[in-house]
Structure 1
Amino acid sequence: MAKLPSKLPGRKFQVSNTNPASAGHTALRAMLCLGVGLTALSAVAAPALAQESETEDTRTMQTVTITATKREQTLQDVPIAVSVVDEATIERAAIVDLNDLQSIIPSLRVGQLQSSANTNFVIRGFGNGANNAGIEPSVGVFIDGVYRSRSAAQISDLPNIERVEVLRGPQSTLFGKNASAGVISVVTKKPQYELGGVVDATLSNENGYRANGYVTGPLAENLAGAVGVTYNKRDGYVDDIGTGTETNERNRWGIRGDLIFEPNVNTTFRLLGDYDNIDELCCAAGNVINGPTGGIIQAIGGTLVPEDPYSYRVAYNLPSTNKVDNGGVSLQGDFDFSGMRLTSITAYRISNLETNQDSDFTGANLLGENSNKTDIDTFTQEIRLTSTDGDRLDWMVGGFYFDETVEIENALLFGDDYRNYANALAGGLNPATGTITDILAGLESALGLPVGTTFAQEGQGFRDDAGQDNTAWSLFGTVDYRLTDRLTATVGLNYTEDKKDAYNNIAASDVLSSLDLVAIGFAQALGGVGVDATDPAQVGAFAAAFPTEFAAIQAAVQDPASNPLLALQPLQFLPPFLGFPNVVEDGRTKDSSTTYTLRLAYDVNDNLNTYVSYATGFKATSWNLSRDSRPFARDFISGSPVTNPPSSPIRDAGLALPNLTSGTRYAGPEDSAVFEVGLKGVYSTVAFNLAYFDQTIEGFQSNVFTGTGFALANAGKQSNKGVEFDVSWNPINDLQLVVAGSVQDPVYDEFPNSASGDLSGQTPAGIPEVATSTAATYFFDVGSWDAYVRGDWQYESPVDHFDSAADQALIGEQKEVSTFNASSGFTNENGLGVTLWIRNIFNDEYITTAFPAVAQAGSIMGYPSAPRSYGVTVRKTF
């Protein structure tokens, strides 16, 4: 590992490129070097660590290369919006996992939801994929060229990261797996033929222990290997006073092996194998708004910590467990021929998730179980042929194949407090005495059912068996043609076909939810006039003889004022489920799309580059593999069977069930497009990037929690336009200042049928208009130690938590982020380093994600931001 530079630009620089035509450009790039990874720079030549010259006391400044474009290029030369975080940044900014990247990349947002594996990546306000294994992420994650299809497979700690590249906007012509919103590409270190490695250990508050080890070296003349291990454990920072446990902990480890075999100068094979395990109690949601149901919770003996999410105290009746196993193997082969390189990447991965959560987030046992077991097996094959010695023409063509199986087992079952809770919601609670009348017993008796043991019983609910088989393939390629020495035109194409076969079968045992309360009221009303509602002849005769009275009965049974049974409808949380495939719904989708990239890039001079581009992206249909999957309205029109319902395919096939309503089985494809203009400059003490973007997604796959489930639907059109910028400035010797940010204007252009009503013309919740990341780093010497001190500030302007105006009015407050971090490090010539770090210095408090409380109308829950953390890391490089 290179030493930290004791001095930054201001000393002499050695330019190793002796070509007079490019010496000036190279010198300017060398002068940019202000320390690799002090921050992420977007589409601009990133600073790099000074390397110790073996022959002279001067230092040669290197520029960072990236491979997101499938060929090695400097950031200055790449005319796309891309940010890079390298190993030095990860060390200095105390970045532990991908969640922390958002603190230095303003256009990236990472949200961890109800479990360790439910992590959502968002770029420029676009992103989804958590909370439903049937939904593909809009932001694609690749690790060493291998696509990670779900968030559970993306969050592993990696012991040997070289850099992380974040590409903004739709990506289709460089990656076989189309990504409609952006790409996160993680690149790890390759094995070396010299023995080396690094070990580090971290001690932090909350009894945190973290250790990494990485060793590499030769195994034979043409064979090198590397092994990396990581271990990360920390107590939870949330106290669960209900179960007596601490939640939001860390407990994960992983191992990774890597082999490089080079039988000759033109052939390289890289074999990677990894396994990681997560077994954590996570993630606590605090009570933000304590609605009218809070008193009922306490009346039935449940506890809660009302409206105090930043106390980091919750009261649950069972700990929320999360177990994730990830593993896989990949083989990459690179074969150099005359003027071209053939690359093949073959990979097989598994991801297994098991969770059980207290999803009512109270001390009352309303939901005794909300378990999920998801197994995902993924096979991918990518082949690329890339030119290597083009004069005016560079090209790349490739093919990609994807085969994945998803299997899901869910259970959502009532707990032993649910019947009392249901009776209280139905009006059985006496506020004066706190006693609860068993209202449900009266209904059971009236229907001739066993009293006290039929409705709202412990263990009733849903058991779910769902899954899908997904195969996809694509052909893609790009051509770069230098029209002049300074002007380059790029054309890229991608053709994708995607097939999915999905299924979902749920066994529903909630007896109360299976009752058609309108039909029961109708039968009772007819019985009162001596008509048997089960006899069509009697009903028809009565309707013919007394049409006015019959119409009045039909209207009355659908009016809560006349039919008291309708007061129980809000308790029918888990009605019978219509599984698929069935004779109406085949459970199959097939999508195809051609996407493209058009770009012109122009070198104004050796210091200034500009580009203009237009690119499109695509994401295939995502199936709703959850209990909220319902027939489309076109297949089923809801209505009571006693009130002359309209004809529909579901009803005509005899598949109608009591209380079955329409919804979505899947969300159709996303089609994205972005127009972008960028300007990049590199000067002796300043580097900057400025980009204007106008990005739209047609049919954005929205997945919104409604309080009892998730509503998956296509937004007609969602767009975002704005400006992204970053500036790196070296005002004095040894000091670097960096500011990066985005100013954007997101909007739902068309979204008439959202779960929150017509949102057309409104600003989407959760996307800040202004987001910035500011950092300052100062280098100095302490005796024989190279040292630095670093501080950074992450800011996001206030933004609504909800698209729903009613829910936003209920919570009142907006989300605003203003978080400060700091670190200081010391490294000597023997490879020994010490880093002191602190994150969220001033305990910035905000709710990362808010949502309606489960089956508790008027209450709002939310995930509070992590409190201050601090620690010390000791590192030895050899």
Structure 2
Amino acid sequence: MRSFVRLGLLATTFLAAPAFAEDPATPAAVAADAQETTSVGTGAADRRGEILVTARRRAESSQDVPLAISVIGGEHIDATGSFNVGRLQQLTPTLQYYSSNPRNTAVNIRGLGSPFGLTNDGIEQGVGIYIDDVYNARVASATFDFLDVAQIEVLRGPQGTLYGKNTTAGAINITTNQPTFDFEGKAEVSVGNYNFKQAKAAISGPLTDNLAARIAVSSTSRRGTIYNVTSNEWQNSQDNLGLRGQLLWKPTDTLEVTFAGDYSAQDPNCCATVYVRTGTTQRAANRQYAALAAAAGYTAASTNPFDRVTDLDTNLRAKNKIGGASARIKWDVAGGTLTSITAWRFWDWDPSNDRDYTGLSVVKLSQNPSQQDQYTQELRYNYSNSKIDFVLGGFGFYQRIDTQGTEQQGEDASRWSINPGNVPAGSSGCGSTAAQKLACDPSVLDGLTAKNVQYLKNTSLALFGQLAYHITPEWTVQPGVRLNYDKKEGYYQRRVFDGDGTELVLNSTNTYTARQAAQLAIYAPQEISPEFSDWNFSYDFNTSYKITPDILVYATYAKSFKSGGINQNGVPTDANYRAITSAETVKPESVHHYEVGIKTQFWDRKATLNVSIFRTDIANYQANVNNSQYGVLRGYLANAEAVRSQGVEWDFSVRPSERFNAYVNGAYTDAKYRKFTDAPCPPELSGGTTVSGTQTAGAAGVAGSLSPANCDVSGQRLPGVSKWSFSWGGEYNVPAKILGKEGKVYLGYDGSYRSNFSSNPSPSAYTWIDGYDLHNFRLGFRSEGGFDVYGWVRNAFDRHYFEQLYVASGNTGLIAGSVGDSRTWGFTIKSSF
């Protein structure tokens, strides 16, 4: 019903009179110009002329913007199959994307941004995602198909002055194609292996002399890539639908009014993991994965993850709906431009996961459906003359998220999760002691259910301004400031019921039967109401100098922040199963950023080389961590004392003629915990009895040894960060005439490489992912009249690689993973008019 009401509101407002519009020097103008300046079938960096961007909230050449920015044209996005942010990372080396499902998605730049691991609604992302100037608070939007995109700008480094709302690592600025007063349209159909089918269409044109409309639709489906022998079905499929409609009203030369509405839905059979490996922890030998599996008579469907076979016994689901409406007005007044952007967004999430990563019924249910509504209002004034350019503005944001969760243990949970102590030989884990009887009694944990209810109210207000003062035509200084207020109010309640439906409650004497204690060790009741509020002042200073018309050097210092957070998935408990209230909130991140760069064009502007060197220091870095408690299955937030990311990036492109273009982009990123002394320990240093007093922790990976309470991971690499990453490619074409049509036959290639990276917040010997390279090819014919047909192959050499690895809860040593796509191939036919 809720989604129906939202869709009704979206449709009603879309058909109503136009409201507000957007500065045509932002998405509308750039969309039109990008069509002309971005070479068809190539990256936006491979240009015929200038590429206009809106990184500073005004249209200007990307080579004149004194910051590190990657620009990818819509045609290149389509040609390379980069239909969402996840695929985009193959074209932009310092962009990292990780997703175990749409909600649990992280998008990072230079190793910074979202905490790595399961998503916690009480924390902000550090990479802002903007679609036609509208901020998308939930990173789940990154998992949807790009729809009618003109170009994408990836802004690297803090963007807090103009973009604000927690863009400490950067921003992704997506521009869609806008309504036109000339009739035009395009359609595209693709088919491929794994029953891949994709269709896209868009049409635009005038309704009256001053009213234009544009409608776009996209549909993607694909069979799953992992076979589940338990359910006898393919999993990790794709099933995406996207719709977007826009109206543009231009009553005068000084006033433009635009309204947009969109709706996207995903309903895949997702998201399955596979067995990867086991590693020895400090648990007792009979509590390690191998012994537990043997006692249960269980064998994984395959121990080779690239067999792409699993046996998960939970019905998987990852239904995801997102959409909204935006209203914009742009008015040229008082020598400048006044822009208002009003938007409402919604997001509905309906999952079902298998959190034990096995075919056993240990965790029978794990599902936390949630619903979000967000409202944003931005008002800004732009002014430019020969001496100064400035932007002044204000921003308001309100978000409400409601979540209703259910987690339930299964019939195998008792044997798997209850420690029976020393077990007589040949007893298969059963004996005469009380603990052994509990472990062998399925009814102790079977049906044990945690019902979670939570909500988050998130309010943010900001005033901002940026001034570019041209001391000389070549030398510009640019200060910027932003004043921000954030307030978060949360609530989390977990009620626990045994298999008979009797509620477990904590008592004042902290005395429980052995059966109750075993149950409370899995799920303990909890009720917290965390709150956070704070003012923050951020600022930056940039200076740039044009040595020649084609050489720009710049330097930047930025003092930025990311808002404090609250733990919305529950917090760790003490020895009496009580919530540790000190873990309810996390401090804001404090960011100091330094960067120098050079932007050059040479060889009669046929070649472009941009280089940047950066260092970002963060105090109170917000990390998403896990510990060995079963009652904290979803992890929680904590502050690492200090983090540093530094490195060098370069972007090179060349177009010697209309027949050939090529690009090579690369990055070296050194991102580390400078200081994190009380981090959760990796699995090889967990699971044993916690040391106390003068005891010394045992060696890593030795069963039955003592475990440290916390670990010092200072100096170790941040999760998800490759030291080296590259992307490269090119396209060559020759004139041809096919079936009477004049055009070009072309061969395109795009490659990427990233070195190894850690897949656990506290680096573990068991969760390093080896580096890998991917290679994509396309061969086709493009006519002068807008017809394009080509065949494509992605991951052409069928590289085996992991996207992410997961440590199973309880420190049994089990490591599961998500595998990357194998070789895919297909054909695409496109036509535009």
* TM class, shorter-length: 0.7 to 0.9
Aligned counterpart for 2:644 among listed residues 704, 711, 719: 719
Distance 1:659 1:607, change over 3 A: closer
Q: CA deviation at 1:429?
A: 7.2
1:460-480 Cα offsets, whole Å, 9 max, x none, are: 131111111111100001111
Deviates more, 1:263-272 or 1:429-438: 429-438
Letter in 2 for 1:775: G
Distance 1:285 1:809, change over 3 A: same
1:487-529 Cα offsets, whole Å, 9 max, x none, are: 011011100000111111110236999899x9769x9xxxxxx
Give the CA RMSD over aligned residues.
Answer: 2.9
Contact 1:290 1:307 in 2 (8 A): no
SS of 1:159's partner is: coil
Partner of 1:275: 263
Alignment of 1:651-662 (within 5 A): 658=577, 660-661=579-580
Between the aligned partners of 2:520 and 2:207, the Cα distance in structure 1 is 65
Aligned counterpart for 1:754 among listed residues 671, 679, 689: 679
Between the aligned partners of 1:439 and 1:819, the Cα distance in structure 2 is 55
Partner of 1:874: 829
Partner of 1:775: 729
Q: CA deviation at 1:604?
A: 0.2
Alignment of 1:127-146 (within 5 A): 127-128=113-114, 131-146=119-134
Q: CA deviation at 1:740?
A: 0.6
Alignment of 1:431-450 (within 5 A): 432=426, 434=428, 436=430
Partner of 2:691: none
Distance 1:729 1:369, change over 3 A: same
Distance 1:725 1:427, change over 3 A: same
Partner of 1:191: 179
Letter in 2 for 1:674: H
Partner of 2:773: 818
Deviates more, 1:611-620 or 1:376-385: 611-620
SS of 2:140's partner is: helix
1:615 lines up with 2:571 in the alignment: no
1:36-71 Cα offsets, whole Å, 9 max, x none, are: 67336xxxxx333xxxxxxxxxxxx43110112110
Partner of 1:664: 583
1:311 lines up with 2:298 in the alignment: no
Distance 1:404 1:421, change over 3 A: same
Between the aligned partners of 1:836 and 1:854, the Cα distance in structure 2 is 44
1:400-450 Cα offsets, whole Å, 9 max, x none, are: 000111111111110122234346x525877757575586687679xxxxx
Contact 1:360 1:855 in 2 (8 A): no
Letter in 1 for 2:802: I
Alignment of 1:328-343 (within 5 A): 328-343=324-339
Choose 1 or 2 for highest CA Rg. Answer: 1
Partner of 1:800: 758
Between the aligned partners of 2:827 and 2:616, the Cα distance in structure 1 is 42
Between the aligned partners of 1:406 and 1:461, the Cα distance in structure 2 is 23
Q: CA deviation at 1:761?
A: 2.2
Between the aligned partners of 1:360 and 1:515, the Cα distance in structure 2 is 26
Distance 1:828 1:359, change over 3 A: same
Deviates more, 1:588-597 or 1:752-761: 752-761
Normalised by the size of structure 2, how large is the TM-score?
0.85
Partner of 1:51: none
Aligned counterpart for 2:42 among listed residues 38, 41, 58: 38
Between the aligned partners of 1:520 and 1:735, the Cα distance in structure 2 is 77
Between the aligned partners of 2:291 and 2:69, the Cα distance in structure 1 is 51
1:375-424 Cα offsets, whole Å, 9 max, x none, are: 11100000010014x1111111000000111111111110122234346x
Q: CA deviation at 1:619?
A: 1.5
1:384 lines up with 2:380 in the alignment: yes
Between the aligned partners of 2:679 and 2:552, the Cα distance in structure 1 is 42
1:122 lines up with 2:103 in the alignment: no
Between the aligned partners of 2:68 and 2:771, the Cα distance in structure 1 is 26
Partner of 2:162: 174
Letter in 1 for 2:586: A
Letter in 2 for 1:426: P
Contact 1:126 1:181 in 2 (8 A): yes
Contact 1:275 1:328 in 2 (8 A): yes
Normalised by the size of structure 1, how large is the TM-score?
0.80
Between the aligned partners of 2:778 and 2:164, the Cα distance in structure 1 is 39
Deviates more, 1:664-673 or 1:370-379: 664-673
SS of 1:809's partner is: coil
1:700 lines up with 2:700 in the alignment: no
Between the aligned partners of 1:77 and 1:515, the Cα distance in structure 2 is 63
Between the aligned partners of 2:503 and 2:277, the Cα distance in structure 1 is 29
The number of equivalent residue pairs is 747
Partner of 2:538: 595
Q: CA deviation at 1:851?
A: 2.0
Between the aligned partners of 1:732 and 1:266, the Cα distance in structure 2 is 40
SS of 1:91's partner is: helix
Partner of 2:207: 219
Between the aligned partners of 1:803 and 1:97, the Cα distance in structure 2 is 25
Contact 1:514 1:658 in 2 (8 A): no
1:809 lines up with 2:765 in the alignment: yes
SS of 1:100's partner is: helix
Letter in 2 for 1:577: P
Q: CA deviation at 1:799?
A: 2.8
Between the aligned partners of 2:159 and 2:793, the Cα distance in structure 1 is 35
1:121-149 Cα offsets, whole Å, 9 max, x none, are: 01000021652222211111011111100
Partner of 2:143: 155
Distance 1:163 1:858, change over 3 A: same
Counting aligned pairs with the same residue, the percent is 27
Aligned counterpart for 2:323 among listed residues 320, 327, 343: 327
Between the aligned partners of 2:770 and 2:806, the Cα distance in structure 1 is 13
Contact 2:726 2:754 in 1 (8 A): yes
Between the aligned partners of 2:219 and 2:744, the Cα distance in structure 1 is 28
Unpaired runs of 5+ in structure 2?
1-33, 280-287, 682-710
Contact 2:672 2:718 in 1 (8 A): yes
1:293 lines up with 2:218 in the alignment: no
Partner of 2:414: 419
Between the aligned partners of 1:593 and 1:347, the Cα distance in structure 2 is 24
Between the aligned partners of 1:514 and 1:420, the Cα distance in structure 2 is 24
Contact 2:229 2:301 in 1 (8 A): no
Alignment of 1:78-93 (within 5 A): 78-93=65-80
Aligned counterpart for 1:864 among listed residues 808, 819, 824: 819
Partner of 2:363: 367
Letter in 2 for 1:857: T
Partner of 1:476: 464
Between the aligned partners of 2:149 and 2:319, the Cα distance in structure 1 is 24
Q: CA deviation at 1:572?
A: 5.5
Distance 1:308 1:659, change over 3 A: farther
Aligned counterpart for 1:239 among listed residues 217, 227, 232: 227
SS of 1:773's partner is: strand
1:721-756 Cα offsets, whole Å, 9 max, x none, are: 111111113467722231111112222111112113
Between the aligned partners of 1:440 and 1:689, the Cα distance in structure 2 is 69
Deviates more, 1:372-381 or 1:61-70: 61-70
Partner of 1:503: 491
Unpaired runs of 5+ in structure 1?
1-29, 41-45, 49-60, 446-450, 524-564, 582-586, 632-637, 640-656
Partner of 2:686: none
